[in-house]
Amino acid sequence: MPGKAKVLTPQEVRQVVSVLKNSRDKTLFLTGLYTGLRISELIALEQGQLFSQSGAALESLRLIRPKIKQTIHCDIPVHPELRGQLVAYKSAFLDGLVSNKDASRWLFPTMDVPGKHIGRTQAHNILTKAFKEIDLAGATTHSMRRTCLTLMARAGVPLRTIQEVSGHSNLSQLQSYLELDPADRHWAILTLKY
């Protein structure tokens, strides 16, 4: 779809994961795919939003989304595949940051500046490099969000439920994110029973 980030196929997702260089970058990408978060929400996640005090991966991600007239609290269930990735990432990477208390606060800390999370530009550069490496035209950091929401819609998840996950203010905004599969028209006609 021109002007919109590419929706990734399962094969493309596997290819991107295979070329990402470290567990932080893989976890960043997979967290985006499994939660549908905007890149700005993704990079600002804190460990406490996904891990309990004892270090266990939580069943849901508690997110606060400030809106113009109100603040919306959102709980996004954490997919079992993502929970497994998070546990491995914590063990392989985050637990090594215990000596720097500020850096360990963030789920995706920068390696350069202790106490800060990676920025949008850094996340963009990490993912763009991976997309270019596998020659994935049209993919951007927004592809994770569009892929997540589109695949839920294609699976038949009610739009209102997807809206709860995505944080869109209304259904028309959400619908502009979703990519239609031409095969869906065929399937839609075949559902008719008289």
Q: For the chain, which domains are there?
A: 10-190 (1.10.443.10)
Q: Which amino acid makes up residue 84?
A: G
Global pTM reads 0.86
Question: How confident is the model at residue 1, as a pLDDT?
Answer: 44
Contact 58, 78 (CB under 8 A): yes
Question: What's the average model confidence in pLDDT over 74-98?
Answer: 89
- The rounded distance, in Å, linking the Cα atoms of 24 and 26 is 6
Q: Which residues pair with 106 in a beta bridge?
A: 46
For 14-37, letters b (16+ CB in 10 Å) and e give ebbeeebeebbbbbbbbbbbbbbb
- Which range, of 6-15, 96-105, 120-129, 180-189, averages the lowest pLDDT? 96-105
Give per-residue pLDDT as tens, 130-142: 999 999 999 999 9
Band (pLDDT 50/70/90 cuts) for residue 143 is very high
Contact 93, 23 (CB under 8 A): yes
